[in-house]
Structure 1
């Protein structure tokens, strides 16, 4: 059965997917991060159907990821720009890009470097200070929104990942 929403799921990943998990959504956000602001430019760069683009842009606006503003130099046209919430997706896109570069067997079309030095950026990942932590070096603990079901999931995850049974 097709799930239309993850609203009832007590999971930050599921709730995030409700807002940006449709595959066109992150590609639209990527284009916005690359400076695309106009509907026709999104449409031509992505090759997306106009009705689908309209739907995705409206959803991203409704979820506070993009905002519609008056286009510079034309009061009749609108532009789509990232909000702070949208800009906060940058590490997510970098992580997806790095994952794809490493695991999907193709040459990286883009490399990211620090603007001022030209040095390649480090892999995105969970850190303590400068140290990137591997999956087995992290344990989950209940957060303020934890439920009984969450506690069970945390215990099961920790036992499996940390080799405790």
Structure 2
């Protein structure tokens, strides 16, 4: 018996508790890719006394990675330069294993998307997996765009502008 909290740890030292992940079991999602994942637990005895924090890391303390099928699909999307997904806009935001994600525009507007019901009737596992795939593809596109922007910026600094 104990108090559980699943937490993501990032390279920059950031600690991010996972909202709604307070049970001893947790389904890893795309949000954990690139992070170290730990199940923090305060053990409790039969009369409710709390013990010291226990923090075992999963995946032999290696960063969480996407599985081979998802990574292959991401690679295909990147090489083609395009990814198409069917998503629906919703208002509610559930806790725990989610089929939702939010895109934030450069103007600061949030757009919530939902994959529930897209892969088939009552197929939550595949709906969550689709959401994870979309998130990872979008992050990879963003990373590639940021990387390309940094290269263009560096080249323009090297080339410079002609002086008058």
The TM-score range, normalised by the shorter chain, is under 0.3
TM-score normalised by structure 1 residue count: 0.22
Bigger share in helix: 1
| Structure number with bigger Rg | 2
TM-score normalised by structure 2 residue count: 0.23
Structure number with greater CO (CA < 8 Å, separation at least 6) is: 2
Bigger share in strand: 2
